[in-house]
């Protein structure tokens, strides 16, 4: 059974930094595009950044210049380095990945989420 597990969330002061990780485990044949989403209270879940298997990246306007998405394919792990955080970044952050199990077509998987709170 495939699992995506996020870690690295927490409480940080405005202007601070956090690094989120998303580790995929289980019977994995290949991982394609990986993404970070976030959902703030009372708001819809939104795409923050995505990275292809080859390393091409895209960012939401709110993340450009402050967040960096990366991945280590050997470790089946994706990261989100978040700098210069503001209270508007407070949300539950979810990882999402299109991946294939052996002998199966790719499907989309979600992690359980990790809370990021930016507050003084």
Q: In DSSP terms, which residues pair with 38 in a beta bridge?
A: 46, 93
Can you give the pLDDT at residue 96?
97
Can you give the pLDDT at residue 47?
98
Can you give the pLDDT at residue 46?
98
Can you give the pLDDT at residue 118?
98
Can you give the pLDDT at residue 75?
96
pLDDT tens digits, residue range 20-48?
999 999 999 999 999 999 999 999 999 99
pLDDT tens digits, residue range 64-104?
999 999 999 999 999 999 999 999 999 999 999 999 998 88
Q: Are 34 and 96 in contact (CB under 8 A)?
A: yes
Residue 113 above 90 pLDDT?
Answer: yes
Can you give the pLDDT at residue 12?
98
Cα–Cα dist 97/70, whole Å: 13
Cα–Cα dist 78/21, whole Å: 6
Cα–Cα dist 112/95, whole Å: 8
Residue closest to 107 by CA, chosen among 96, 92, 118, 117: 96
Can you give the pLDDT at residue 104?
86
Average pLDDT, the chain: 97
């Amino acid at each position: 059974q495939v699992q995506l597990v996020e870690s690295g969330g927490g409480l940080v002061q405005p202007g601070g930094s956090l690094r989120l990780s998303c580790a995929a485990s289980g019977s994995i044949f290949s991982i394609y595009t990986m993404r970070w989403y976030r959902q703030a209270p009372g708001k819809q879940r939104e795409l923050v950044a995505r990275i292809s298997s080859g390393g091409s990246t895209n960012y939401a306007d709110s993340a450009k210049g402050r967040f960096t998405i990366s991945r280590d394919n050997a470790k089946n792990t994706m990261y989100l380095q978040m700098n210069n955080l503001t209270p508007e970044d407070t949300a539950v952050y979810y990882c999402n990945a299109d991946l294939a199990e052996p002998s199966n077509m790719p499907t989309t998987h979600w992690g359980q989420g990790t809370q990021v709170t930016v507050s003084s």
